[in-house]
Structure 1
Amino acid sequence: MGFIDKDIRPADDGAITDAYSRTVAGVVDLVGPAVSRIERLGAGAGHGSGFAISSDGLIVTNNHVVETAKAVRITMPDGLVTEGRVLGRDVDTDIALIRADSGVGHWARLGDSKNLRRGHIAVAIGNPLGFEWTVTAGIVSALGRSMRAASGRLMDDVIQTDAALNPGSSGGPLVSSGGEVIGVNTAVIQGAQGIAFAVASNTANFVISEILRYGHVRRAFIGIAGDTIALPRKVALAAGTSSSTSVRVRRLEPGGPAARGGLREGDYILAIGGTPVGGVDDLVRLMGGERIGQATEFLIFSVDGKIETRTLLPVARP
């Protein structure tokens, strides 16, 4: 029969608790002053959270916090109230970028979300349900989750955490024990407890860079509408793919890249640039901005019953 050393356990538990408390308090002291309350100006009142990432007033939040607003009111923990303009937003990742009309005294640093592991401490700071600058803490429950954005596009690399989030927390930072922002809090599952989601900081960093450079996130476009359907086993075997599903072209945009490249309605898209396509989500994911203007090979099963390769030249998505 095992036993517990009663002289050791209380001291160890107390030390662990104290260390945890110091860690969370240190994170709040470091990042809390950068977190703001964001209110939409004009039609469609609403509010959420955001956080500054530079001294000149760049503030990150969720797209669904700003929606179609061009201007917002920003309230900082030190009492500073200023307005800001929305520089750009991305419905597909639920990220928006704001420029405050004045500089800010505190800002947070985006960390590398690839360094996360399940079980790492996660601290959420935001303004839920009118309770301003609320702090909750938990752990990173899972990595690499997928969820649907408001656009219907599947967001990859989403962080799951059990740090409590509520309406108004959206747009606030999810912070590591080292005081770096590892995610942008974005969603909860209504009725569930301990399940919340954040857009990974690496995704947010990519979106921020695109908005600053282009005013929006560039994505490639080939001009098709498609459906995810079952792939006949004989076709999968002939194409050398283990996927049981694929994308069938339902409609072509006249004069679009796909039409110009020789795709036809009824063709199956099996792979793009050597990467298997198991459905519409894969197709969308593989059409990143890096493919714009780049000749890209599409492996297809044609309406003629042949496995062929078509080279398309994707353009920027309208």
Structure 2
Amino acid sequence: MLDISQDFADDEISSQNPPTAAVDDHALLDAYSNAVIGVTERVGPAVVRVETMSTQPNGRQRGGLGSGIVISPDGLVLTNNHVVGSSKQIRIRDSEGGVTDARVLGVDPDTDLALLRADASRNLHFAALGNSKNLRRGQLVVAIGNPLGFESTVTAGVVSALGRSIRSVNGRTIEDVIQTDAALNPGNSGGPLVSSAAEVIGINTAIINGAHGICFAVASNTAQFVLSEIIRHGHVRRAYIGVSAQSAPIPRRHAVVAGIDNTMGALLAQLEPDSPAALAGLLPGDVVTRLDGVDINGVDDLIRALDRDRIGRTLAMEVLRMGRARAIDIHPIERKAVVRCVG
């Protein structure tokens, strides 16, 4: 037999004390919705659809589709390098349906970024790049793009992690990558990841097939560096020594004899003829442990150390050769720029 007296008592108490928690939940939901709506209305008009067309070796035409973000009123557009690829025909379509041709100002396969210039003469809606260093885990972010061809699609999530590293298409490591659970699909590539302050804090670049809620965006600070290099030089300047290498463990006894703390290093597999590495006297099998005062604990550290500030300088390099420490001076040069064929 049910005891309904307690139910009546509970009803009386609840009538005297309204469920403020439910009210708060509604308020929070409205705040969340308003934040997403505000970001969409402010940044959405600056998101464009990037359409590409390229000719295959068999003579057939192949089209591609991605997203981009206009970052200046005169038509500078950031997108992914893999969206542009080797395409010779590029068009962008804005949120109002306007279509214009675009040309590539420069690409950077190492960060999977490309900078386009729209040929339109009219002012375009644009969005500002924010400071990705101010991001925090759990922060609200919004992704806007054209997944699977569905234009102006909005998804929301949070910053899942910061400082991730992923591989670019050419094997180099893209550093300081943002991980998010905002849903991304093919076609979102090149679109913006936006903060609640309506600032672009990332360029969406990668998803993991078969995984849910694990997506990546190149940080806006990286994008800012890349676009400034492209505008100034037409490409991103990086140092080059002419080696292929892999991360390898350093035997403890070798580290003790050499007086180093490294447990890993960059094992040189091949050297290009007449490269800075060959001219410096490096040999296949050498293990790089230090460069210009920076510890090298693997191939990623070596790649990271070869930045534009070390172009044209003579650097001190420490290597292990047959378990013995050696000091070598090396003179990195500027790496050849990626050249796009336009005709």
**Same fold by TM-score greater than 0.5:** yes
Matched, 1:170 2:182: no
Matched, 1:27 2:39: yes
Identity %: 54
Q: TM-score, normalised by structure 2?
A: 0.87
- Pick the aligned partner of 1:114 from 114, 133, 136: 133
- How far apart are 1:143 and its partner, in Å? 0.5
- How far apart are 1:7 and its partner, in Å? 2.4
Write the distance in 2 (CA, Å) between the matches of 1:27 and 1:246: 45
**RMSD of the alignment, in Å?**
1.7
Write the distance in 1 (CA, Å) between the matches of 2:246 and 2:83: 31
Contact residue 254 and residue 324 of structure 2 kept, 8 A: no
Unaligned runs of 5+ in 1: none
- Pick the aligned partner of 2:225 from 187, 206, 211: 206
- How far apart are 1:210 and its partner, in Å? 1.2
Equivalent residue number for residue 190 of structure 1:
209
Write the distance in 1 (CA, Å) between the matches of 2:136 and 2:230: 29
- How far apart are 1:151 and its partner, in Å? 0.7
Equivalent residue number for residue 68 of structure 2:
50
- Pick the aligned partner of 1:215 from 234, 239, 244: 234
Matched, 1:292 2:297: no
Count of aligned residue pairs for this structure pair: 314
- How far apart are 1:167 and its partner, in Å? 0.8
Equivalent residue number for residue 64 of structure 1:
82
Write the distance in 2 (CA, Å) between the matches of 1:249 and 1:192: 34
Equivalences for 1:1-318 in 2 at 5 Å? 7-43=19-55, 44-102=62-120, 103-303=122-322, 305-318=323-336
Structure 2 residue matching 1:78: 3-state secondary structure: coil
Write the distance in 2 (CA, Å) between the matches of 1:200 and 1:6: 45
Structure 2 residue matching 1:41: 3-state secondary structure: strand
- Letter aligned with residue 52 of structure 2: R
Structure 2 residue matching 1:183: 3-state secondary structure: strand
Write the distance in 2 (CA, Å) between the matches of 1:192 and 1:297: 43
Q: TM-score, normalised by structure 1?
A: 0.94
- Letter aligned with residue 196 of structure 2: S
Write the distance in 2 (CA, Å) between the matches of 1:84 and 1:249: 41
Contact residue 69 and residue 86 of structure 1 kept, 8 A: no
- Letter aligned with residue 28 of structure 2: I
**Structure with bigger gyration radius:** 2
- How far apart are 1:46 and its partner, in Å? 0.5
Structure 1 residue matching 2:245: 3-state secondary structure: strand
